[in-house]
Structure formats: C-alpha cells, structure tokens
A = this chain, B = another copy of it.
C-alpha cells in the first residue's frame, strides 16, 4: 500500500492466490458499477452483483464491508493519485501553491489509473450517481475527511511543522477541500459538464480563496 519512489515495483508477482483475489475484487467492482449505471443504486441488490460476478453473496461481503463501499471503490484510487501528486511537488513550493498545483496534476494522472479497472465513462457516470444519491454522498464525504487528514499530514511534513500543535495544515487543507467540493458540486449541477470545465472551475475557485476572505465585496465589485 505504501507508495514507493522506484518504478520497478509494479510487477512483483504476489502469488497466484493474491492475483486471483485482486481479479475477483475488480470483477466485483466492474459488475457493480455497470449494474448501478443500468438500473440505479437502490434498484440493484447485492445478490445481483454477486451473481453477475459469479460469486456468492457472502463472498461479496468479504471484499466490501457494505454495498456503499463497492460504489466508492475507485475513490481510493483517486486519493492515491492525488496524494502522490502532492508528494511530487518540489519542497520549496509554498503550501497553498503545492495544493493547487497538485490538484491540477491529479486530473491528468487519474485517467489511466481508473481505466485499469473500468472504462472512464462508467466511472464518470458513477461520480454523478454518488453525488445524487444521499447515502453514497454521505459515505463519500466521510472518506474525504480521512483523506484530508493524510493531506494535512503531508503538508505538515513538507513544512516541517508539528501537526499535533500547529493547526495551520488542517486549516489550509480544510479551506482547499471545501473550495474543491464547492467547485465539483457546481460542476455536477451543470448537465453539460466537461472535464475541462471542471478544471477551469477549480482554478477559478481556488484563485478566489484569498479575495473572498478579505473585507467587503461591495467596494470592489
């Protein structure tokens, strides 16, 4: 699970058993997302997913703690990519700039990582489904909270401050992720959402973070 600097770590074959498990997990994920896309989240039972993946219902629950989790499975991938993007920023970059640039870099690197499991279009459809399904949105926001912790820890490491006593990493990450969520929600409400649109929205919103916090807006229009 640890992200390692080198590149020659990918194909360290972990035994037949482990590969089979990974394959089952991916199959389960793909079948679930396809069924969700076709007949909705609530309209799909765990039994159907299990049958489509040719395993028992009990096995499904050995791979995913609950039905929500399979819908959010790919979010884990996204988080890994985003965290790696932040770690790849040069150390001398100021914290806010590093966060912004990492956000930009994430969109490019994400595609291939997702395609390894499901078609990108299916994943985009899933994202919209999550946003419009209360139960899934709730679970997603909770996971996001944990992810923010990891981001804050990385910021603290970069800047050499102590996360336990210095609240600035948490404050920064909280502000940024709040803005990112606002941007993605506005984007989600547009029916004609393009990926470039999202990138533009995020850029604009992050740029507004400073100005929006200072003084009255009426004197500046």
Q: Which residues of A contact B (CB under 8 A)?
A: 92, 94-96, 134, 137-139, 141-142, 145, 159-161, 167-168, 170-175, 177-179, 181-183, 185-186, 204-205, 208-218
CA distance A216 to B155 in the complex (A): 11
The 7 A-B residue pairs whose C-beta atoms are closest, nearest first, are A174-B178, A178-B178, A138-B138, A138-B142, A141-B141, A175-B175, A168-B212
Q: Report copies per complex.
A: 2
Chain B min CB distance to A146 (Å): 10
A211 in contact with B168 (CB, 8 Å): yes
Residues of B near A213 (CB, < 8 A) are 96, 172, 175, 209-210, 213
Known: A213-B96, A213-B172, A218-B160. A208 touches B167 (CB 8 A): yes
Apart from A96-B214, A167-B183, A175-B179, list 16 A-B contacts with CB within 8 A: A94-B216, A95-B217, A96-B213, A141-B142, A145-B185, A160-B218, A167-B186, A168-B217, A171-B208, A173-B178, A175-B175, A175-B209, A175-B213, A177-B178, A178-B178, A210-B214
CA distance A2 to B207 in the complex (A): 36
CA distance A213 to B178 in the complex (A): 14
